[in-house]
Homo-oligomer: A and B are copies of this chain.
Amino acid sequence: ALAAPAIAQANPKISWRLTSSFPKSLDTIYGGAEDISKHVAAATDGNFTIQPFAAAEIVPAMQAADAVSNATVEMCHTCSYYFVGKDPTFAIGTAIPFGLNARLNNAWFYQGNGNKLMNEFYATQKIYGLPAGNTGAQMGGWFRKEINTVDDFKGVKMRIAGIAGRVLEKLGAVPQQIAGGDIYPALEKGTIDAAEWVGPYDDYKLGFYKVAKYYYYPAFWEGGPVIHAFVNLDKWNSLPPAYQAALTDACAFANTNMMAKYDTKNPTAIKQIVSQGTTLRPFSQDILEACYNASLEVYKEISAKNEWFKKIYEDQVAFKKEAYLWMQLSEYTYDTFMMIQQRNGKL
């Protein structure tokens, strides 16, 4: 047999497996893994292949980070905040209550200290993280009864996880951890009173409008959640620089493309949901204020015990203060005017 010439070393054949924390039925969010896979293959002439697997095909959704840490798979596509049980610092990678919106998450990760600080933390878990998707501000979820005052949260059994669950607990709600596929029957039977998932496009598929009448907004706990690509740190470091570059840019493409998909598909879905008799309701200002104050208490509690969380949280808050000062000038005034035209049927 003829030995391959030395030049071939520049493009070694590398095959990786990626476990997604999402089912294939959620084409928007699962689609991020497909984007990464396709774009990396295309940019490397098929030499670096990343095969995506849906949640539970090879690794359970909620074990994706562990599988990457211990190199069971080379990478995953997941929400960092699924792993708050290991360390609450994971939450900041995706979204924390009253955190950054989608655009400002990009700003903090790409140009602020976001990628730097989160990767210092992820390195302690043998992980390298890349932003690779966003859903935009999510909906606040499905409720079987109206939530008009802060007191109405008392005793409400709600499917909501992580830090947001701790916040609602302070208001008297009873947070529950339930996997996506189990929410519908739980809501139907009344085992739970409320559930949050993503937004119109994904929620419509799961049929929640059939078993809960009120659809509240916004999800104050997910103002612009980042979906991450997690790569085993040793595997990342062993990649040829060109493949690191191809993967970095493929994730940047996936990041923007997922947001674009949600923004393109959600408008139709919200109309379908309303046409089924769902009532849309904003959380009152009082409720949002109470949740905001409860969130600050939770952050104080966590920060007192966790140096990583404290350090990264404080950096993000400093960024957020500045960013929301600027955003309320041109950006907000422009959008407000456009929305007035939309409501008046003049767009």
Inter-chain contact B333/A339, CB cutoff 8 Å: no
| Cβ 8 A contact of A263, one of B200, B326, B329 | B326
Instruction: Chain B residues near A104: list those with CB within 8 A.
Output: 263
Select the residue from A44, A136, A257, A337 with max chain B CB neighbours within 10 A: A337
Per the bound structure, the CA–CA distance linking A175 and B138 in Å amounts to 42
Instruction: Chain B residues near A112: list those with CB within 8 A.
Output: 264
- From 292 to 328 in chain A, residues with beta carbon under 8 angstroms from any chain B beta carbon are 292, 317, 319-328
Interface segment out of the listed A74-82, A148-156, A212-220 = A212-220
Counting CB contacts under 8 A, is A72 at the interface? Answer: no
Instruction: Chain B residues near A332: list those with CB within 8 A.
Output: 335-336, 339
Counting CB contacts under 8 A, is A248 at the interface? Answer: yes
Inter-chain contact B333/A111, CB cutoff 8 Å: no
Per the bound structure, the CA–CA distance linking A30 and B4 in Å amounts to 42
Number of interface residues of A (CB under 8 A): 90
Shortest CB-to-CB span from A342 to chain B, Å, is 4
Knowing A7-B5, A112-B264, A334-B220, the reply to whether A329 touches B280 (Cβ < 8 A) is yes
Residue of B nearest to A8 (CB): B7
- From 252 to 270 in chain A, residues with beta carbon under 8 angstroms from any chain B beta carbon are 252-253, 255-257, 259-261, 263-264, 266-268, 270
Residue of B nearest to A41 (CB): B245
- Beyond A137-B334, A223-B334, A249-B253, 8 additional pairs, beta carbon < 8 A: A42-B242, A45-B240, A137-B330, A252-B253, A263-B326, A264-B319, A321-B347, A324-B338
Taking Cβ atoms with an 8 Å cutoff, the residues of A that contact B are 5, 7-8, 10-11, 39, 42-45, 98, 101-104, 106-107, 109-112, 136-140, 199-200, 217-220, 223, 240-242, 244-246, 248-250, 252-253, 255-257, 259-261, 263-264, 266-268, 270-271, 280, 282-283, 285, 288, 292, 317, 319-339, 341-343, 346-347
